[in-house]
């Protein structure tokens, strides 16, 4: 794997207090000394979270806005799927989270986050039938079952448990 797609390291994973604003005119956070929250990661691999994603047309660089969204159980903010979501809600959004949606936004984690999201999307697609005409899932009850972190290296919990009393309908067709 190319170096830019590898895990940048826990020492580069910095969450600042939501009231601490980035030092003006500095491209890196090296001179941002106040309000750091220690990040403790049990492993170097990616975490997978299931939950609500806020999708919009503007970059979020305001930690207080991020905190308001967090209180509404939003786990991340993204822009790329916003256009798709205007025309349909029948889609799965897989995001690689690369920053904390605050004034300390930088590009250091983008490649790693993209690689992790691509790997998870590929893994998810491998569970799909080869040919699917229609999939119908009652989303609200499924979302409740799909919360919390899932560790890719933890084979016992690679796929979250779901409420199997709710219908999952698959209509298949043959390829011609």
Average pLDDT, the chain: 71
pTM score = 0.65
Report d(CA 130, CA 169) in Å as an integer.
15
Higher pLDDT pick, 105 / 147: 105
Residues 45-81 have pLDDT tens digits of: 778 888 888 888 888 888 888 889 889 998 888 888 8
CA neighbours within 13 Å on the CB side: how many for 20?
16
Say what percent of the chain tops pLDDT 70.
Answer: 70
Q: Model confidence at 136, in pLDDT bands (50, 70, 90)?
A: low
For the chain, give every domain's residue range: 3-129
The answer, yes or no, to whether residue 150 has pLDDT greater than 80, is no
What residues contact 120, with CB distance under 8 A and at least 6 apart?
46, 48, 94, 152
């Amino acid at each position: 794997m190319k170096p830019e797609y590898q895990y940048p390291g826990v020492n580069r994973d910095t969450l600042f207090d939501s009231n601490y604003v980035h030092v003006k005119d500095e491209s890196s956070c090296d001179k941002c000394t106040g309000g750091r929250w220690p990040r403790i990661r049990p492993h170097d691999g990616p975490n997978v979270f299931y939950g609500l994603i806020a999708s919009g047309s503007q970059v979020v660089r305001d930690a207080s806005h991020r905190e308001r969204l967090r209180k509404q159980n939003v786990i991340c903010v993204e822009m790329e799927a916003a256009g798709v979501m205007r025309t349909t809600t029948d889609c799965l959004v897989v995001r690689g989270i690369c920053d904390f949606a605050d004034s300390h936004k930088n590009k250091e984690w983008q490649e790693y986050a993209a690689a992790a999201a691509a790997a998870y999307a590929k893994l998810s697609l491998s569970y799909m039938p080869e040919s699917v005409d229609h999939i119908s899932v009652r989303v609200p009850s499924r979302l409740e079952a799909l919360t919390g972190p899932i560790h890719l290296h933890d084979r016992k919990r690679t796929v979250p448990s779901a409420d199997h009393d709710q219908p999952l309908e698959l209509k298949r067709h043959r390829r011609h």
